[in-house]
Amino acid sequence: MNQSSPQQFVDEIISSLPEWGRNHRALVGLSDQTALLAEAAPSPFLKALECMFEGDQSGIVGLFTDRDDWSFSASGPYIQILWALEVLAWDPKLLNRTAIILAKLAELDPAPDSNKVNRPINSLRDILLTWSPNTHANLRQRIACIDIVLSEVPAVGWQLLVKLLPRSHDSFSPTQKPKLRDVAPVHHEELTFGVVWDAQHAVVTRAIALAADNEERAIVLVNSFSAFRRNDRELVLEYIDSYLIAHRCDEADPVWVALQAMAAKHEFYADSEWAMQGEELQRIRDLLDRHRPADPLYEHKQLFDEWLPHVGQYNETVDIEPDALRKEALARVLERDGPLGILELSKKAAIPSLVAQAIDIEQITQEHLITLLEAAARRPPIGDLALYASALGARRYEDVWSRLIEEKIFPLIPDAGERCYLLLGWPVNSQTWDFVELQGEEIRAQYWRRLNIFPQGDSHDELMRAVKEFRIVGRSIEALYLGHRRLAEFSSEIIMTLLSEGLIQSESKQSGTMQSYYLEAAFKELDGRDDVERFDIARLEYSYLPIIQDQQRPLVIYEQISENPHLFVEVLSHVFRGKNSPAREHVTEQEKNIASISFRLLSSFNKLPGASENSVDLPKLESWIADVRMAAAERDLAEIADQYIGKALAHSPRFETGGIWPPTEVCVVIENFASEQIETGFEVECFNKRGAYMKSMGEGGAQERALADEYSYRAAQTVKFGRTSAMLERISDSWNRMAEREDLQAEIDKLKR
């Protein structure tokens, strides 16, 4: 496109500027020419956007929402506007106006923190980036631009400063550059370390000023602290000091906690080059000591705020055991503050469950545990600490503990659900279950609905009792999942029953991503048993097919279909209606699910009937095909059945190197049945079998041409089978045509580069 063409285009559009400024359709409709339009006529373009903000903003909002027929997507029309503004931002004279428009767009953006790179705030950040600005404006002009954004669009000001704060490992996306004109100044500013540091200093000082008395913003500065230059860190510490003075209290201020965590991390990795050391780190420690909370529990809180706390100093030859450190801390708390001190610590910790998990210490007694449970019971809801305390008591004191819980704790807890919760950590055995039975039907039912572990001992009776209770509360499939390590102890009847009952129960919450693994283990266990009918296994596989179809284990249902032509047609009828049958107006959800499963089965069926490892049983294959065609004709499914027969034939095995393919027996079948639909199904599947593939840039049709040569060779090998040879030649021709299209597309792609 020459320079006059976009200018002429601009003149035509700008002739009705007020209308254009109100109508986002005209603006967005410029598509990929928007950046050229903006560059050719920057002032009218910016004026149009400014008019939209001054008047009806619905047009701008439409760029980011599903309003009208525009959608906020990875390739939405708003991107063209951003690119146009990025182009204009290279001109120092237009930088401020462009930045304000981007800031106002960012203010309207419904998802500014989206992981999509093309966001208004990200464009603004990349333009003003301290260490690699995407504008020809010099340092003074860029700082002035930041100040204007802070003043004109304060709602976006803090967001921009956070984006511009120095980071240890940073990156950016280059913005769009001018194509029609050169707006670079004659004397371009050289980006030295001094310029970058001055820019960062300007950002940090403004961030401190804007943080003011805001806790969340103060924490952001603390978390970014280590990436600042030393003089900027001094400023931040002075700000944090004054902030903590203004917010002094007995409790630990979240800003103080964040600063402590940051200091601990640098002490832990003191040998690293990036870690602060010496006087600077000591100054932080002095600041922390001056504002240390009066509550002594905060000395230990850090251990329970992170899964892997930064305690001591990192040494790759010595493993630090956080669990041991936490238990030592709880022992000190117990000695100083008693069991209620542990309860208070769990309330203050960022991860209360870590306090609960460390409670198994030698110093804690039965009386301590009862005191903990009594305090927790008086301040519901019951939390992890009470659960672990109850479990610890049950393991240590057995029958005595059951009596204490029933006499002292349960009277304080009227809710059956919370009573049940205290029992979930008890040993999974008959002694616990007998106690649960005594608590009444409601607690018993809740216990078995919420229990997520099976007995792992040697007692077969306990295992079967757990299975029975899970079945009663409708968790048959979960019983199978939780007991998968002991499947050998399950009778075949029990496994089949659990699988069958699982089909009519709600989806398991226990299985997660392991559902396929658990089911495969169950079916493998059945495969090795001779007291289960293969057809019954196939029936269950069919029901669970969406979950198990990608297993490495060969499915029995494929074997059944390849041996039972009537079953094959039955599955086919679940997906397709008869050719002359009228369309049904109402289809139930169950019928839709069955159709979906059946289609999956037909799509993944690749076993040739009558085939063994070394040969194909021709009479068996012919009999299967004849029976399928006869049964399909009775249901008016003849054509589609033939196509799926052809699909099966396309998966014929290769028995020997240099031998013909398809095997002679399959060629005979193709010749004898002489069905165009069988051949169509065969041809289609030969293309589908290719599956997913990759190509290098500009590769063209080399892969397709190799496939064409392969099928042409096969056609020559089977020349004595006329229909088969012609069919293979047609496949070869199709691959050649596809190769030509790929060659053409490769040449077109070259022209785009």
Give yes or no for a contact between 583 and 576, defined as CB atoms under 8 angstroms apart.
Answer: no
Give yes or no for a contact between 628 and 568, defined as CB atoms under 8 angstroms apart.
Answer: yes
Q: How many CA atoms lie within 13 A of 715 on its CB side?
A: 17
Cis peptide upstream of residue 381 (ω within 30 degrees of 0)? yes
The pLDDT score that the predictor gives to residue 418 is: 94
Alpha helices of 212-276 — where are they, by DSSP H?
A: 215-224, 230-246, 254-268
- Give me the mean pLDDT over the 65-86 stretch: 64
The residue type at 740: E
List own/partner pairs for 706-715 with CB under 8 A and 24 or more apart: 707/735, 708/732, 708/733, 708/735, 708/736, 708/739, 711/686, 711/735, 714/660, 714/661
3-state secondary structure 407-425: HHHHHHCCCHHHHHHHHCC
Is the predicted pLDDT of residue 25 greater than 60, yes or no? no
Helix (H, G, I), strand (E, B) or coil at 616: strand
- Give me the mean pLDDT over the 417-428 stretch: 95
Alpha-carbon span 731 to 737, nearest angstrom: 10
Pick the range with the lowest mean pLDDT from 33-42, 122-131, 276-285.
33-42
Alpha-carbon span 521 to 480, nearest angstrom: 10
Residue 255 banded pLDDT, cuts 50, 70, 90 = very high
List own/partner pairs for 563-571 with CB under 8 A and 24 or more apart: 563/609, 563/624, 565/624, 565/625, 565/627, 565/628, 565/631, 566/627, 566/631, 568/628, 568/644, 569/628, 569/631, 569/632, 569/635, 569/637, 569/641, 571/542, 571/598, 571/601, 571/602
Task: Give pLDDT tens digits for 573-587.
Answer: 999 999 888 888 888
Helix (H, G, I), strand (E, B) or coil at 611: strand
Q: How many Cβ atoms from other residues are within 10 Å of residue 276's Cβ?
A: 20
Alpha-carbon span 20 to 38, nearest angstrom: 14
Phi, psi angles (nearest 5°) of residue 564: -120, 95
The pLDDT score that the predictor gives to residue 438 is: 95
Q: Which two tokens stand for residue 753?
A: 């580069």
Alpha-carbon span 618 to 718, nearest angstrom: 17
The pLDDT score that the predictor gives to residue 22 is: 40
Phi, psi angles (nearest 5°) of residue 267: -70, -40
Q: What is the DSSP letter of 501?
A: H
Torsion of CA 698, 704, 710, 712, to 10 degrees: -120
Phi, psi angles (nearest 5°) of residue 674: 45, 50
Give yes or no for a contact between 137 and 92, defined as CB atoms under 8 angstroms apart.
Answer: yes
Tell which residue, 117, 107, 130, 131, has the closest CA to residue 175: 117
Alpha helices of 549-693 — where are they, by DSSP H?
A: 556-563, 565-575, 589-604, 618-634, 638-649, 664-673, 676-688
Q: What is the mean pLDDT of the chain?
A: 88
Residues 6+ apart with CB under 8 A from 82: 102, 105, 118, 119, 120, 123
Q: What is the chain's length?
A: 753
Task: Give pLDDT tens digits for 354-370.
Answer: 999 999 999 999 999 99
Is the predicted pLDDT of residue 325 greater than 80, yes or no? yes
Give yes or no for a contact between 555 and 521, defined as CB atoms under 8 angstroms apart.
Answer: no
Pick the range with the lowest mean pLDDT from 58-67, 411-420, 667-676.
58-67
Q: What is the DSSP letter of 313?
A: -
Alpha-carbon span 47 to 57, nearest angstrom: 14
Task: Give pLDDT tens digits for 717-747.
Answer: 999 999 999 999 999 999 999 999 999 999 8
Q: Is the pTM of this model over 0.85?
A: no
Tell which residue, 499, 533, 430, has the closest CA to residue 490: 499
- Give me the mean pLDDT over the 297-314 stretch: 86
The residue ranking higher by pLDDT, 36 or 285, is 285
Q: What is the DSSP letter of 226?
A: G
